[in-house]
Every structure is written in C-alpha cells, then in structure tokens.
Amino acid sequence: MATEGPPTCRVQVAEHPRLLKLKEMFNSKFGSIPKFYVRAPGRVNIIGEHIDYCGYSVLPMAVEQDILIAVEPVKANTLQLSNTNPLYPDFSTSANDIQIDKTKPLWHNYFLCGFKGIQEHFGLSNLPGMNCLVDGTIPPSSGLSSSSAVVCCAGLVTITVLGMNLSKVELAEICTRSERYIGTEGGGMDQSISFLAEEGTAKLIEFSPLRATDVKLPSGAVFVIASSCVEMNKAATAHFNTRVMECRLAAKLLAKYKGLQWGKVLRLEEVQADLRVGLEEMLLITEDALHPEPYSPEEVCRCLGISLQEFRTQILSPNTQDVLIFKLYQRAKHVFSEAARVLQFKKICEEAPDNTVELLGELMNQSHVSCRDLYECSCPELDQLVDVCRTFGAQGSRLTGAGWGGCTVSLVPTDKLPSFLANVHEAYYQRSDRSLVPENQRLFATKPGGGALVFLEA
C-alpha cells in the first residue's frame, strides 16, 4: 500500500552474491560491517514523456536494475560516501553542512539531495554521520533514471538511520522536491515509481494528489530496452529545463487567452482543470491561442503585459535566463496529445482486445514522432535505433526518459524476441564506438520489478 513505508526484508547475505560482495567491499573500505542495505530501482517509462512536470499522468514500470547502498551509522557527524565503481571518487562532508553544487552534477550530489530532503522535511539540525558504499546496475545517463534512484535510495537510507517512518508517497514527494537541489525541474515520475512499483505490473502514476494504479501489461509481448550509446545528463544541459519553462510559458499564455488568472499558473494541466474541458479541446484551444513560429522573450512579455525584468526574475528559472526562443505551440501540442495517449494505453490494457499489442505499439510509435518533431528531444542515433527496432519486429518503439540520447523502449511479440535481439544487435551495435557499452547494458528484455526496500541481515 502507498500509505505504508517501504518494506524491510531480512535476508541471508551469504545467499545473495551481490549483497555478499558489497558487504566484503564495505568491510575492506571501512573496516566494519554494514548495519543494513537499501535498494531503489531504475525505471522505464513506457509512455507519457515530458508530461509529469506538466501535471499529467504517466505510465512507467520499475526495472530490475537498481542502486544498492550498504550503510553503517557512525557517531561522528561525517558523511562518508564511496562507490564500487572506480570512476566515481570517494566523498566526505559534515552531515550538518550539506552543500550541493548545481553547476556540477557529480554522483555524490544526488545522494546529498536525498539526505538533505529528509533533513529539511523534519527540520533537523544535528544529524548522525554514516558510512555508505554505493553499487549501481543502472547504466548512467541512459534515461533509466539512475540519478533519481540514488536520490530515493539516499532518502530511504536517511530515515532508516534516523529510525523514522514515512509512507512511500511521502518519500516520493520529498525526493522529487529534493532532486531540484541539483537544478533539475523534474515532475515526480521517477521518484514515484521507484517507491510505488510492484513486481509484475506497470503503474499509472497520477499527481496532485500522488497515487498509483496497476496497469496489467499484455502477456503476448515483452518490453525491450536498447541503449543508443549516446549519454545525456539532464542536469548538465539546459535542454531539459528549457522544455519545462516552455511548457510553463505555454500554460500562462493559454490561461491569459482564456481569461484565467495566469499569474499563479505553472502547469498545462492546471489550465485544463480550470477550463473543465477534455484534452481534444485543449489541442483546439492551442491552435487558436498560440502560433507555430517561435516566441521571443519580448513577445512573451507583450502577450502577458509584463516587463523583461519581471519575466526574467519572476518566471524564468536561473538556468533558462539566456534562452532566446520558446516554441510554445509545439510543446503544448506534444503535452496534450501525449497525455491522451497515456489514457488510451491504459484503456487498451484494461479492455485487452485481440489486437492489443498492435494498438499499444501504434501509440508508442505516435509518441516517438511527437517527441521527435514537436518536443525535439530525440537525436539521430535514437531515431535510427527506433527504425532498426521496428524493422526487426517491434510493434512499437520510442525514446524513453528525457531523450537527447539514452534508451529506446520497444514492444516486441514474445515469439519474435530471439530474432529481434540478434538482428538489432547485428544492425546497431557492430560499430566500434557502440560496442564499448557493456553488452548486458545495451540491449535487454525487461519485466516490471518491485520498489524500494530495506534489507537487514538475518
């Protein structure tokens, strides 16, 4: 239940090779034994891209790949963070002086986000220190939410050390807010599915209030994740935050056009809710109210009747101050059409007609076209990979995650899976630069995994 906290499981560490290896590495590093372990999964978003921060429902599932942290509380107020991957250097800081540098999305900053989120939620000033060893199986910058999984893991680590309890929903909401310390204006899907996921089912995640509903996926097909081998770190680029801002500006212009109080409007869903109309009607209003040509900051100011100074200080985020063009029409059209596709996807899964896989695949294909053409968050490699996947038997294929690199997700009939994997491998991954990505991280079938939890040694 979402009202309960993440589960705690007692395990025989010796029977779990990964836990045992982590325990041994922890002992080698810190000269002691972990008191507990926490895991939080990555996720694949099946459909509903770039719409969670606009207030709309999304449809992800947790993947089996995860972040796993071994933890030992210590009396000193020092936070010692280490990673099993030698590419990520050790880090230590005072538990009572957490500084997060937005200009550098370094791995340890994501842990600090989760830690600081719990600290601020409870208004705590004197936190205990801890030794933590982090191990991850989610490929970084892949669009499978490795960074949010670290934030969620850190949040759960912190409340466990403090002996406090929070529900899965509360943890998801705190971790969503706290990831913004790193400068990413995300919407909450990644943190929500990391806590609310259940094995064997995808979830429709709805916001305000946050809730999750099971979505039973079709039995005759599997979802396959394929890496484009192009890394994209959304905290390191203005692309992501520019899209968030374009959607916010579109919401304000649509609200003003319809005579609503636009000043407090932040999300496109708020405009729809205030107007009490459907998504089709919102698409028609977008056609009337916005033009396809890009807007300059000056034109946005004229439309809203504000000064450039007010625009920069009251509306734009710090990392979008220098943006000179805003494509409001295209972004709004993507959001409203993608929100409708999510609801259609869920409806088809519920009704389960004979051609379910075909219908779901078509929605995924439409989603990719919209991401590519209207939201402009694809890249040549993702487009090529999507084409390759469709050529070799995927009913539907689309980019997943923020885009601009990362992964695709494809819906593949179960009987075609072996040939699909072999052919995609041959067609896309034979290039030398693409063969550098570890084989188990570049192309794999996945099924819905469980959510975040705490392990205690039995």
pLDDT at 278 over 80: yes
- Share above pLDDT 90 across residues of the chain, in percent, rounded to a whole number: 81
What is the arithmetic mean of pLDDT over 216-227?
A: 94
Decide if pLDDT at 329 tops 60. Answer: yes
pLDDT band at residue 238 under the 50/70/90 scheme: confident
Under 8 Å between Cβ of 63 and 389: no
Instruction: Considering the candidates 52, 66, 190, 214, report the single residue annotated as catalytic.
Output: 190
CA separation for the pair 289, 373 (Å, rounded): 20
Confidence of residue 183 (pLDDT cuts 50, 70, 90): confident
pLDDT category at 234 given cuts 50, 70, 90 is low
Counting residues of the chain whose pLDDT is more than 70, the rounded percentage is: 97
The answer, yes or no, to whether residue 184 has pLDDT greater than 80, is no
Strand partners, 35: none
User: Angle at the Cα of 243 (from 274 to 153), degrees rounded to 5?
Assistant: 95
Q: How confident is the model at residue 181 (pLDDT cuts 50, 70, 90)?
A: confident
For range 148-173, the mean pLDDT: 95
Q: Can you tell me the mean pLDDT for 407-418?
A: 96
Supply the pLDDT for residue 105: 75
Average pLDDT over residues 115-121: 94
Q: Are 115 and 86 in contact (CB under 8 A)?
A: no
**What pLDDT shows up at residue 233?**
60
Choose among 441, 449, 451, 443: nearest CA to 148.
Answer: 451
Identify the residue with better confidence: 393 or 438: 393
Identify whether 190 is a catalytic site residue.
yes
* pLDDT at residue 236 tops 60: no
Is the Cβ–Cβ distance between 72 and 124 less than 8 Å? Answer: no
- Spell out the residues 6+ positions from residue 369 whose beta carbon is closer than 8 angstroms to its own: none
Average pLDDT, the chain: 93
Highest mean pLDDT pick, 185-199, 218-232, 367-381: 367-381
Task: Give the per-residue pLDDT at 1.
Answer: 56
Residues 6+ apart with CB under 8 A from 321: 312
Average pLDDT over residues 297-316: 96
- In this prediction, residue 442 carries a pLDDT of 86
Q: Which candidate, 219, 268, 227, places its Cα nearest to that of 444? A: 227
Q: What is the identity of the amino acid at 308?
A: L
Helix 146-162 vs helix 107-122: angle between axes, to the nearest 10 degrees?
40
The helix-helix angle for 168-179 and 107-122 (nearest 10°) equals 120
For the segment 190-199, the average pLDDT, to the nearest whole number, is 94
pTM reported for the whole predicted model: 0.91
pLDDT band at 303 (very low <50, low <70, confident <90, very high): very high
